[in-house]
């Protein structure tokens, strides 16, 4: 195979930490033992992500170092040192303790990227709770599904978001308290009856707190992720994941003491947690958190204004920057950028080639999943980049391409992308669904659900997903979740949802809808159904397109054949339709 290669100069030895492993090292599991020793374990062999990310820096020479440089939607800037984040999160741990939160309880957050989100996250970990940040754009349905399934005891949120989901709160039997932040400074509207004010609780809380004894195997963070069937599943991670989040922060993000790091992902998705909270702060690095959404000039401005050196973003964002043109970046000084990475969807070679003159460097693709907790396959900073490849497995991780019997395939052949279990940040269960968890492991491998191939030099190339899950702008959307909302509309009899290819977002959600008797297809009804879904879900995951059909293709057992809907949409062969029941 012929590849285009972007060659790298020999790395500057002065910047390479002595502990950096050799990327050519074979899969050496002993590497994790070495890395583990770099963390500051708690007395008695306990491990807590909050201690590794915040307290150990706040208790050492870095206590006065800026941990968080926050830029709000309106351009306001606040900074927090590691010592300040320690004090705030200790106080929030006391708040939670006072409300009866115990080790293992679930504490969820539905918040914009505001400082209080990060304080609540670490405060939760410090009481030994399992924390679950939710995507702030979610409407009532996805929030209800996730809070019900997790049995969350506490929800920390903000006034506007609280109002958006008000209708589902009474259905959440296990939810004991809703804590609302920012009531005083940003939205002074009165609290709903029974809600607690974050500011009032914090003003009375003590800042003396001793972290609850959590072991490396205690649950710490959960993220809901979508599958082909059923509602999203809660992938649960342990405190041990911090070992790999820290290591990949060093090896893949190339974080150094003096870096200013910016991850554009929201903590409601796993990238925004593993790499927007845990990896940078376990490495003691200053990170910029930008509350605003996407706008090309605003993003370049963030880089210039804060002197961002390491930038972790997503292919859709890069394609949106491409669309905005090369004149916009020319108006900004982007020379602080030293290393750029992207994840979540395939990074097309054109995007890397576009980025070369704009950023004066290659964008580095890497691959992982909610379930893997941290990066597993990456283009390292020192590696030659092959545009279109996800890179090579990180040290300590063994990847393979398997056939349908889960036997290793030769180089160059497409098959199931699989990983040998046992990496530190591996998910430990799907919340209350161990059957589905076990189904992900076959013949000693974790089956990722992606198809890929590997070349003769060990570079992995993504081919596609094996299931019906839609990847829109790097966000996974389960078709069932969207279909369930659509059939809640009074006019909808049946709904089938697919991912339709899109030049910017990779895929957009498209729904096929059959109407109930008495309803006629019309543009007005289409807009109404789209609005109905957007209000309940989130603009990004609700259908962008709706097509009316008299009825949907189903199997004889009544299952909607999404595969067929997709093949018809794309004008592809329909494949095996022997189980099709057309009416």
DSSP secondary structure letter of residue 168: G
* The length of the chain, given as a count of residues: 583
Q: Which residue is nearest to ligand PRX (CB)?
A: 370
Closest CB 425 distance from ligand PRX, rounded Å:
12
Name 334's Cβ contacts closer than 8 Å, sequence gap at least 6: 300, 303, 304, 358, 359, 360
Closest CB 413 distance from ligand PRX, rounded Å:
18
**SS3 call for 14:** helix
What residues line the site for ligand PRX (CB under 6 A)?
225, 270-271, 343-346, 365-370, 390, 448-450, 462, 465, 471, 476
Minimum CB distance to ligand PRX smaller for 186 or for 465: 465
Minimum CB distance to ligand PRX smaller for 429 or for 471: 471
CA distance 336 to 358: 13
Minimum CB distance to ligand PRX smaller for 62 or for 471: 471
Element (H, E) at 121: helix 115-126
Measure CA 328 to chain center: 28
Minimum CB distance to ligand PRX smaller for 332 or for 465: 465
CA distance 475 to 277: 18
Nearest 5 degrees, angle CA 507-CA 475-CA 254?
A: 115
Minimum CB distance to ligand PRX smaller for 122 or for 368: 368
Closest CB 419 distance from ligand PRX, rounded Å:
11
Closest CB 220 distance from ligand PRX, rounded Å:
17
Closest CB 294 distance from ligand PRX, rounded Å:
18
Minimum CB distance to ligand PRX smaller for 307 or for 449: 449
Closest CB 360 distance from ligand PRX, rounded Å:
22
Minimum CB distance to ligand PRX smaller for 182 or for 248: 248
Minimum CB distance to ligand PRX smaller for 229 or for 522: 229
Nearest 5 degrees, angle CA 27-CA 32-CA 37?
A: 150
Closest CB 556 distance from ligand PRX, rounded Å:
31
Closest CB 95 distance from ligand PRX, rounded Å:
31
Nearest to 221 by CA among 438, 52, 448: 52
CA distance 107 to 175: 9
CA distance 528 to 522: 10
Closest CB 375 distance from ligand PRX, rounded Å:
8
Tokens encoding 510: 């498209």
Is residue 201 within 8 A of residue 393, CB to CB? The reply is: no
CA distance 222 to 241: 12
Name 214's Cβ contacts closer than 8 Å, sequence gap at least 6: 46, 47, 48, 103, 125, 128, 220, 239
Regarding beta strands 475-477 and 286-290, do their DSSP bridges make them parallel or antiparallel, or are they unpaired?
A: unpaired
Minimum CB distance to ligand PRX smaller for 94 or for 245: 245
């Amino acid at each position: 195979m012929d590849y285009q290669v972007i060659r790298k100069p020999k790395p500057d030895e002065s910047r390479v930490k002595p502990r950096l492993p050799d990327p050519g090292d074979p899969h050496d599991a002993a590497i994790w033992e070495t890395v583990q020793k770099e963390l500051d374990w708690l007395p008695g062999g306990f491990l807590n992500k909050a201690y590794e990310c915040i307290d150990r820096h706040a208790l050492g020479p870095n206590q006065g170092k800026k941990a968080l440089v926050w830029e709000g939607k309106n351009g306001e800037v606040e900074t927090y040192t590691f010592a300040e984040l320690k004090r705030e999160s200790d106080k929030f741990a006391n708040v939670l303790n006072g409300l009866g939160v115990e080790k293992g309880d679930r504490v969820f957050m539905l918040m914009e990227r505001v400082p209080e989100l990060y304080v609540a996250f670490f405060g939760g970990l410090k009481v030994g709770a399992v924390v679950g940040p939710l995507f702030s754009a979610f409407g009532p349905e996805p929030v209800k599904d996730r809070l019900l399934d997790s049995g969350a005891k506490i929800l920390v949120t903000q006034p506007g978001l609280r109002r958006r989901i008000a209708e589902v709160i009474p259905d959440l039997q296990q939810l004991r308290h809703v804590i609302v932040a920012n009531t005083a400074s940003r939205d002074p509207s009165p609290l709903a009856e029974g809600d607690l004010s974050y500011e009032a609780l914090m003003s009375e809380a003590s800042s003396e707190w001793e972290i609850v004894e959590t072991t490396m195997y205690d649950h710490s963070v959960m993220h809901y992720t979508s599958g082909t069937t059923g509602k999203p599943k809660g992938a649960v991670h342990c405190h041990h994941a911090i070992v790999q989040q820290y290591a990949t922060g060093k090896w893949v993000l190339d974080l150094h003491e003096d870096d200013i790091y910016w991850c554009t992902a929201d903590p409601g998705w796993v990238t925004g947690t593993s790499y927007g909270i845990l990896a940078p702060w376990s490495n003691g690095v200053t990170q910029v958190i930008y509350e605003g959404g996407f706008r090309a000039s605003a993003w370049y401005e963030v880089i210039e204004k804060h002197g961002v050196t390491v930038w972790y973003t997503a292919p859709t964002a890069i394609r949106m920057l491409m669309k905005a043109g090369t004149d916009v970046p020319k108006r900004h000084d982007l020379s602080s950028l030293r290393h750029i990475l992207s994840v979540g969807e395939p990074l097309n070679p054109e995007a890397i080639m576009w980025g070369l003159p704009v950023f004066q460097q290659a964008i580095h693709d890497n691959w992982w999943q909610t379930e893997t907790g941290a990066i597993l396959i990456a283009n390292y900073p020192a590696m030659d980049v092959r545009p279109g490849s996800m890179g090579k497995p990180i040290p300590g991780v063994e990847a393979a391409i398997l056939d349908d019997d889960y036997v290793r395939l030769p180089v160059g052949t497409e098959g199931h992308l699989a990983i040998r279990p046992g990496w530190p940040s591996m998910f430990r269960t799907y919340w209350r669904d161990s059957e589905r968890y076990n189904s992900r492991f076959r013949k000693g491998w974790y089956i990722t659900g992606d198809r890929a191939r590997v070349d003769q030099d060990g570079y992995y190339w993504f081919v596609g997903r094996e299931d019906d899950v839609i990847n829109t702008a790097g966000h996974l959307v389960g078709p069932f979740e969207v279909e369930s909302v659509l059939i809640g509309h009074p006019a909808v009899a049946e709904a089938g949802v697919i991912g339709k290819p899109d030049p910017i977002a990779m895929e957009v959600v498209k729904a096929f809808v059959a109407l109930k008797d008495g309803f006629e297809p019309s543009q007005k009804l289409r807009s109404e159904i789209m609005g109905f879904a957007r209000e309940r879900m989130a603009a990004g995951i609700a259908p962008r397109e709706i097509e009316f059909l008299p009825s949907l293709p189903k199997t004889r057992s009544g299952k909607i054949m999404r595969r067929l809907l997709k093949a018809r949409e794309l004008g592809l062969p329909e494949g095996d339709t022997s189980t099709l029941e057309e009416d």
